[in-house]
């Protein structure tokens, strides 16, 4: 799709998913509680978390605006415990029906929302779909630290490929008022090639670097009055100038 900025980025290959989810699972299990439960996965991407949670007995609905991501999410063994919905997570209240027992929004999803009005719409819609006291687990990069330090890039990822080695490069150009130009790029590295390094894909994506106070204000306005902060998807304290991530576990009502 020409308007899909992630149509040429294979996140399934470029993230070590088994290791990541194994590390996150004890925290996810504690926050989400035992299955069976109806869960929302907002910005589900290629569906790794959705399928993993479904394999552990949860009924999961994953929502993502990228058709190419959802095509990958639907690959492999089908399960009646997971389904994927194409759409903007801001419209969550209209995209799904009924009440859910929890929700997750992990990775770099939230920064795709560019203004406070859109963020408020998401939080209100999510609150309408969650049962009272149901957990909402939100994780983004710690933009408090990124913006303060004028950080320009995220760690490189390397993966073996049939024709060399794939390098996943993520650059950031930090503008005013939290505006960020994010440039995810896929490179192929062949030491004996000519040239040894070539660009497979590269695209600019406009993001907003949401900080703790902004997110908590939107959660508070939507009725998520019970909130705990962590520095990663695990029992690690959040330190504004040191943590790699901002993780919030919020409950409504």
User: Residue 7: its pLDDT value, please?
Assistant: 54
User: Residue 1: its pLDDT value, please?
Assistant: 39
User: Residue 17: its pLDDT value, please?
Assistant: 77
d(CA 99, CA 60) in angstroms, rounded, equals 12
User: Residue 2: its pLDDT value, please?
Assistant: 45
d(CA 62, CA 39) in angstroms, rounded, equals 8
Q: What is the pLDDT of residues 209-228, one digit of tens each?
A: 999 999 999 999 999 999 99
Around Cβ 225, how many Cβ atoms within 10 Å? 11
> Which residues of the chain are modeled with pLDDT < 50?
1-2
Sequence spans of domains, the chain: 11-142+210-251, 146-208
pTM of the model: 0.92
- Closest C-alpha among 242, 239, 219 to residue 229: 239
- Its CATH architecture, for the domain 11-142+210-251, is 3-Layer(aba) Sandwich (3.40)
Q: Where are the beta strands (DSSP E) in 87-225?
A: 102-105, 135-141, 157-161, 164-174, 179-189, 197-202, 205-208
The C-alpha angle 115, 122, 71, rounded to 5 degrees, equals: 100
User: Residue 4: its pLDDT value, please?
Assistant: 64
Q: What is the pLDDT of residues 69-110, one digit of tens each?
A: 999 899 866 689 999 999 999 999 999 999 999 999 999 899
Mean pLDDT value across the chain: 92
User: Residue 183: its pLDDT value, please?
Assistant: 95
Contact 114, 50 (CB under 8 A): no
User: Residue 75: its pLDDT value, please?
Assistant: 85
């Amino acid at each position: 799709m020409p308007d899909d900025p992630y149509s040429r980025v294979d996140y399934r290959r470029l993230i070590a998913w088994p290791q990541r989810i194994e590390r996150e699972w004890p925290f996810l299990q504690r926050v989400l509680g035992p299955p069976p439960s109806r869960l929302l996965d907002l910005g589900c991407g290629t569906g790794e978390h959705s399928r993993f949670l479904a394999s552990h007995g949860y009924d999961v609905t994953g929502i993502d605006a990228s058709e190419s991501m959802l095509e990958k999410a639907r690959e492999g063994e089908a399960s009646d415990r997971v389904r994927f919905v194409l759409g903007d997570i801001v419209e969550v209240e209209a995209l799904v029906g009924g009440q859910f027992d929890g929700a997750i929004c992990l990775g770099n999803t939230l920064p795709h929302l560019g203004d406070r009005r859109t963020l408020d719409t998401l939080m209100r819609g999510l609150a309408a779909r969650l049962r009272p006291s149901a957990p909402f687990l939100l994780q983004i990069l710690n933009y408090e630290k990124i913006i303060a330090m004028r950080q320009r890039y995220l760690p490189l990822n390397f993966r073996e490929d049939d024709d060399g080695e794939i390098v996943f490069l993520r650059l950031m150009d930090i503008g005013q008022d939290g505006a960020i130009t994010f440039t995810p790029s896929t490179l192929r590295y062949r030491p004996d090639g000519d040239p040894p390094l070539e660009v497979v894909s590269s695209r600019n994506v406009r993001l907003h670097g949401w900080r703790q106070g902004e997110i908590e204000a939107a959660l508070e306005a939507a009725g998520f009055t019970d909130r705990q902060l962590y520095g990663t998807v695990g029992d690690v304290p959040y330190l504004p100038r040191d943590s790699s991530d901002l993780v919030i576990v919020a409950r409504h009502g």
